[in-house]
Amino acid sequence: MMAEWQADGADAMWLMYAADYLLRTAGVRWAIDPVRLNYLVDEAGPVPTGALEDLDLVVMTHNHHDHVDAVLLTELARVEGIRWVVPHHMREIVDRCGIPKSRLIAPEPMKPVTIGPLRLTAFDGLHWEYPGRWGEGEPVAGIEATGYLAEWGERRLLVPGDTRTYDSGALPRFGPVNTVLAHVWLGRGAGLDPAPPRLGELCSFIASLRPSEKVCLGHLEEVSREPEDYWTREHADEVRRRLEQTLDGVAVEAPELWTRVSL
């Protein structure tokens, strides 16, 4: 994975872990929530990270353990060439990992940030779990989070991030995008349920984001989780079957870890 990512080539993405990404777009090498497998799973053994010094940019979404590898972030904070996009609700991470404020960008919702040919537009994510529609009543669980629209040239990639309330009406209207990175979550504690309660809601949510070419399903096979909160490739297959009935001509993939995905 590291060798492919370092090499010159077409726009592409790799999963470092279940929902943690390395990307190469228009020559910019960047990461979303970079996490090593061995940070969460001791048995995984050491992971070489020297190649990550080639990062131009690290983008963070929210402060959950499967998205914040504090050891790796502390190492990368010492690399002078890396810039950081870290939302205000993660400022504690900035201080704890020693990320220099001179290289820090604190994105404001719907105010684009440009890094070379890459433009990032942050927006408030939907990681709070409401019993009904977004903002109605008190959330039963969740955390503040940030999603991103990434644009380069004529390409558009939408990253809603971890989502717990599938209400696309609460998101900005970005119009059609080429690719959506969608994280599978089918209900609290429903990993062993033969009919997960949020399956239909997730599929409708993804379709409403208007991907024109591809949907990449992530948040799968997260081996640091308990079985009732573990989403499998069988779950992804059911999501794929439903989406293929709705999204004509759109490829729906569940990428393997460390495997190149074209963008």
Taking the mean position of all CA atoms in its chain, how far away is CA 99? Answer: 21
| pLDDT of 46 over the 90 cut | no
| pLDDT of 34 over the 90 cut | yes
Tokens of residue 87, six digits: 């939302």
List, in sequence order, every residue forming a beta bridge with 183; answer none if it has no partner.
218
Pairing label, strands 146-152, 28-32 = unpaired
Instruction: Give 126-143 pLDDT, tens digit per residue.
Output: 999 998 889 999 999 999
d(CA 146, CA 156): 17
Instruction: Give 92-102 pLDDT, tens digit per residue.
Output: 999 999 999 99
Give the closest residue to 111 by CA, choosing from 84, 145, 148: 148
pLDDT bucket at 163, cuts 50 / 70 / 90: very high
pLDDT bucket at 44, cuts 50 / 70 / 90: confident
Gyration radius (Cα) of the chain, Å: 17
Which helix (H) or strand (E) segment is 14 a member of? strand 12-17
- List the CATH number of the domain containing 257: 3.60.15.10
Range of the domain at 83: 2-262
Residue 225 is classified by DSSP as: S
Number of compact structural domains in the chain: 1
Q: Which residues contact 49 (CB under 8 A, 6 or more apart)?
A: 36, 72, 75
Which helix (H) or strand (E) segment is 208 a member of? helix 199-208
Residue type, 104: L
| pLDDT of 104 over the 90 cut | yes
Q: Which residues contact 257 (CB under 8 A, 6 or more apart)?
A: 15, 16, 17, 18, 37, 221
Q: What angle do CA 62, 160, 239 make, to 5 degrees?
A: 120
